[in-house]
Amino acid sequence: MSFSFPILPEGHLLAIEGLEPPHIGALLDLAENYALLNRSGKTQRDLLKGRTLINLFFEDSTRTRTSFELAGKRLGADVINMSVSTSSVNKGETLIDTAQTLNAMHCDLLVVRHAQSGAPALLAQKVSASVINAGDGTHEHPTQALLDALTIRRRKGRLEGLTVAICGDVLHSRVARSNIHLLTAMNCRVRVIGPPTLIPAEAARLGVEVFHDMQAGLAGADVVMMLRLQKERMTGGLIPSSREFFRFYGLDREKLAWAKPDAIVMHPGPMNRGIEIDSAIADDPERSVIGEQVEMGVACRMAVLDVLARDLRRNV
Amino acid sequence: MSDLLIRNARLLDPASGLDAPASLLIQDGLIAALGADVTAPEGTPALDATGLCLAPGLVDLRADIGEPGHEHRETIAAAALAAAAGGITTICALPDTDPALDDPALVQFVLRKGEATGGLTLLPYGAATKGCEGREIAEYGLLREAGAIAFTDGRRAIGNARTMRLALSYARAFGSFVVQHPEEPSLAAGGAATEGELATRLGLPGIPPAAESMLVQRDIALARLTGGHVHFAHVSTGAALALIRAAKAEGLRVTCDTAPPYFDLNETAIGDYRTYAKLSPPLRPEADRQAVVAALKDGTIDAIASDHQPRDADDKRLPFAQAEAGGAGLATLLGITLARVHGGDLPLLEALSLLTVKPATLLGLPVGRLAKGAAADLVLFDLERGWQVKAGQLPGKAQNSPFDGRALEGRVVGTWKSGRRVFG
C-alpha cells in the first residue's frame, strides 16, 4: 500500500486529537491489510529489519506491551522491553535521563506508556526516535482508539453515522479521550455515560452527548464501549462503592437490552468482571468483540510502525 | 555618595499626578530637587534622559525568594540583580521558605541579607501560621518588631476557617494584615490546570475556578466578622474580583493584587504541556483574563505584584502534572504592565501607581513616590524600546518565565537604589 501524503507528518503518534479523517482512514486501511496478512499466517516481513523498537513502560501492562512486541517482531524489528517500576521513577530527571540513554542506544521507534499526561510528548522533544504513545495518564491512548475503530468498522461495515456509547469512568480514561477524538472525527454520534463524578469537566465541548442514565444513553446504540473502572487512579471517593456502580452503570443483560438488538460490546481490558461488566456479556460471542479487539490491536500497531518506519527510511 | 542630575526626563509620579518633562537631582541618596528648573552644584555629574521616563522604583508586593532553603533556585543576591534589571527597588518576600519565617531571628536574617545586596530593600513577610502549616498562628508581635511587613503563608492557603479568623483578628493588635493565597485547598489538591475543556483534552487534573472565589467569599465573611484586614494575592478570576469589588463597596478592609500572567496570558499558554506556564493559581480562560484587566481599570485591584517564583530546570523539565508551579517575574513586571498601557487598557500613570505608590501605601511605606527628601529609588525606562523575553538570558538566576518568547515594548535602562545606580 502506498499513500500520496504523509500519514503521521510529525514523525510520532502522540495523540489522536489533531489527526485528520483521511489520515485515520489510511491507518485503518493499512491495519486491515495487516489483519488479513496476520490471519494468513505470513509473518516476519523485513520492513523493520535492522530497526530497534523499544517498549518503554513506566506503568504495568501486559496486553499493550505484548501487542507492540508482536507487531514489531512481525515486521522484523529488534524489540527490547524496558519496564521501569514506578517506585524508582518518582523523580522526573529520570525521564530526561532515560531519553539520553535511548538516544545513545540509537533507538528508532519508542513505544511509551507513562502514568503522567504529556510524558510521551516530553520524551518526543528529547529523543531522536519516533515516539508512539501507548497510554499517558488520563490524556490519550491512540492505538487503542485505532484498534477499536477497526473492530467496529469490520463488524458494522462503516463508522459514519453509528451511535457509540462510551460508559463508565470517563474522567480517568485515556481510552475514552482517544476514542472520542477518533469517532467524532469519523462522524460517529458519540455518547458518554457515567455518574457526574466520573465525567470530565466540559465533556460536551469534545463533541459528545453526556448521559448519567444508562437506559437513556444506551437507547439506539450500535456500539457499547465499556471502560475499566480505574480504581487505582480513584482519589477520594468519586463513587461510594463498586456494588452501587455495578447496579447503575455496570453492563449486564438487562441494560444491554436497551441498546440496539445487534449492538456490539467492547472493552479495552483488563476487565473488572462484576464491576463494570457482567461475565455473561463479556464472554458472549454473539455480542462481545473483546477478543477481536486484541487481534486488531496487533494489526493496528503494525500499521503505525509501518507508517513511522516509512518516514525513518525517508530520513536515512 | 554619588550625586547626579538627571535632565530632560519625562518625570512620572503617580502619587502627585506629575507627568512632565523635568529634571531630578540626587544628593546623598535622596531626591534633593525635582522640577523644570533644577540646578545642580557645579561639578555634579549629569545624565541626559531625553526621550526617557523617570519614575519611582517599583514596589513588588509579592515574590518568592529561594533563600533560605532553596538557594539552588535563587539566592537573595541573584534576586537583587533581577530586581534591579526590572526596575524594582523594594520587594516583599514570602515566608514559606525552608525553614519558614516564623521566628524573629529568621526575619532579621532575611532583612540583613537584603541589606547586604546594597541594591534592594527586601521586606520579609512573617509566617501567618507556625511553619506556614496552617494550624497555629505565629508570633505576630515579635515578628513585627523584627521587621515583618505583614503575615501570610505564602503559596499555601490558610484553609482552616478558625485559624484564618484568629489570624485576621490577632493581626489587628499589631496594625497588620493577612495575605491569603485564595484557593480552597481540598478542591485544589492534585490539580495542575484550570478545570475545563482544555484540561479535559490534555488529561490534566483540574482545579475549578470556584476554588478561588469560595475562599475569597469565606475570608470576606471573616473580615466582616473580625474587623481585620485581608489581602488576596494574585487574584485571577472574574468571580473572585466581583466579590472583592462588593466587599470594598461595603467598606470592609479587603484589598487584593494580581500578577502579570493573569492579565497577559490565558490558559492556552500551557499549550502542549508547557511547564513554564504552569502557575499557581493556574492560568485561566480568556474571560477571566479580561475580568482581571477590567478590575485593574476600575480600581478593584490595589497592586500588581511580580509573583516571582524561581524554579530550576529540574523543577520544570517534568511531565506537566509533576512539574512545580511558578514563574519568574521580576525582570518582566514593568514590561508586561506597560503592554496594558500600549494596549490602551490603562493610562501610564495609573499603571505605574499599581507598581509604586499603591502597594507602598498598602504596606504603610514612604517609598514609591518622587518627592523632595525621599530616598532616591528610581527607575529610568524607555517606553517604546522593544525587546524579547528569552528564558535562558534573563538577569539573575531563575529563568522560568511564562513569557518566554514574548515581544515587549518598554525597557528599563537604569535603576537607582538610594541614589546608587544598581542597573544600567
**pLDDT at position A171, please?**
95
CB A92 to CB B323 under 8 A?
Answer: yes
Q: How far is B281 from chain A (nearest CA, A)?
A: 18
Average pLDDT over residues A183-199: 97
SS3 A269: coil
Cell numbers for B16: 502627585
CB nearest B206 (choices: A92, A95, A201): A201
| Model pLDDT for residues A203-222, shown as the tens digit of each residue | 999 999 999 999 999 999 99
CB A140 to CB B272 under 8 A?
Answer: no
Buried b (16+ CB within 10 A) or exposed e, B145-169: ebbbbbbbbbbbbbbeeebbbbbbb
Say which residues have a Cβ less than 8 Å from residue B208's Cβ, sequence separation at least 6: A201, B187, B194, B195
SS3 A184: helix
The Cβ-side half-sphere exposure at B224, using a 13 Å CA radius, reads 13
C-alpha–C-alpha distance, residues B71 and B90, integer Å? 20
Neighbour tally for A300: CB within 10 Å: 30
pLDDT for residue A183 is more than 80: yes
CA atoms A26, A32, A35, A39: torsion sign: negative
Q: What is the DSSP letter of B81?
A: H
Say what the ipTM of the complex is. 0.91
Indicate which residue of B13, B257, B264, B307 is catalytic. Answer: B307
- The residues in A 225-244 lying below 8 A from B, measured between CB atoms, are 235
**pLDDT at position A316, please?**
47
With contacts defined as CB-CB under 8 Å, which chain A residues touch B273? 117-118, 121-122
Amino acid at A18: G
Ramachandran quadrant class, A118 (left: phi over 0; alpha: psi -120 to 50; beta: rest): left
Query: Is B3 considered catalytic here?
Result: no
Banded pLDDT at A199 (limits 50, 70, 90): very high
Whether A306 and chain B come into contact, CB under 8 Å, resolves to: no
- The residues in A 95-114 lying below 8 A from B, measured between CB atoms, are 95-96, 114
With contacts defined as CB-CB under 8 Å, which chain B residues touch A122? 273, 317-319
| Model pLDDT for residues B143-202, shown as the tens digit of each residue | 999 999 999 999 999 999 999 999 999 999 999 999 999 999 999 999 999 999 999 999
C-alpha–C-alpha distance, residues B4 and B414, integer Å? 13
With contacts defined as CB-CB under 8 Å, which chain A residues touch B203? 117-118, 136-140, 174, 177
Task: List, run by run, the mean pLDDT of 10-residue segments along chain B (424 residues).
Answer: 91 98 97 94 95 98 95 95 98 97 98 95 98 98 98 98 98 98 96 97 97 98 98 98 98 98 98 96 98 98 98 93 97 98 98 98 97 97 97 96 97 97 96
CB nearest B319 (choices: A17, A92, A235): A92
User: Which of B194, B198, B200, B204 is most worth mutating to test chain A (most A CB atoms within 10 A of its CB)?
Assistant: B200
Q: How far is B208 from chain A (nearest CA, A)?
A: 9
- The residues in A 135-194 lying below 8 A from B, measured between CB atoms, are 136-140, 174, 177
DSSP string, B345-392: SS-HHHHHHTTTHHHHHHHT-S-S---TTSB--EEEEEEEEEEE--TT
Q: What is the DSSP letter of B253?
A: S
CB A201 to CB B197 under 8 A?
Answer: yes
**CA-nearest residue of chain B to A175?**
B203
Q: Are B304 and B335 in contact (CB under 8 A)?
A: no
C-alpha–C-alpha distance, residues B329 and B307, integer Å? 6
Task: Give the distance, in angstroms, between the CA of residue A40 and the centroid of all CA atoms in the same chain.
Answer: 25
* Burial tier of B63 (Cβ tally within 10 Å: 0-12, 13-18, 19+): buried
Q: Residue A128 phi/psi, 5° resolution?
A: -85, -10
| Model pLDDT for residues A126-139, shown as the tens digit of each residue | 999 999 999 999 99
Residue from A144, A155, A211 nearest A181 by CA: A144
CB A202 to CB B196 under 8 A?
Answer: yes
pLDDT for residue A314 is more than 70: no
How would you classify the pairing of strands B378-388 and B178-180?
A: unpaired
Ramachandran quadrant class, B51 (left: phi over 0; alpha: psi -120 to 50; beta: rest): left
C-alpha–C-alpha distance, residues A266 and A52, integer Å? 32
CB A118 to CB B314 under 8 A?
Answer: no
With contacts defined as CB-CB under 8 Å, which chain A residues touch B208? 201
CB nearest B319 (choices: A122, A140, A177): A122
The sheet with strand A109-114 has its strands ordered as A78-83, A52-57, A109-114, A130-136
Q: Are B309 and B278 in contact (CB under 8 A)?
A: no
C-alpha–C-alpha distance, residues B162 and A142, integer Å? 48
Say which residues have a Cβ less than 8 Å from residue A244's Cβ, sequence separation at least 6: none
**pLDDT at position A84, please?**
79
Q: Residue B38 phi/psi, 5° resolution?
A: -80, 135
pLDDT above 70 covers a percentage of chain A that reads 93
pLDDT for residue A43 is more than 80: no
Residue from A65, A10, A235 nearest B272 by CA: A10
The Cβ-side half-sphere exposure at A129, using a 13 Å CA radius, reads 29
CB B197 to CB A138 under 8 A?
Answer: no
CB A201 to CB B208 under 8 A?
Answer: yes
pTM of whole model > 0.80?
A: yes
C-alpha–C-alpha distance, residues A153 and B297, integer Å? 56
C-alpha–C-alpha distance, residues B384 and B52, integer Å? 9
CB A117 to CB B200 under 8 A?
Answer: no
**CA-nearest residue of chain A to B197?**
A202
SS3 B410: strand
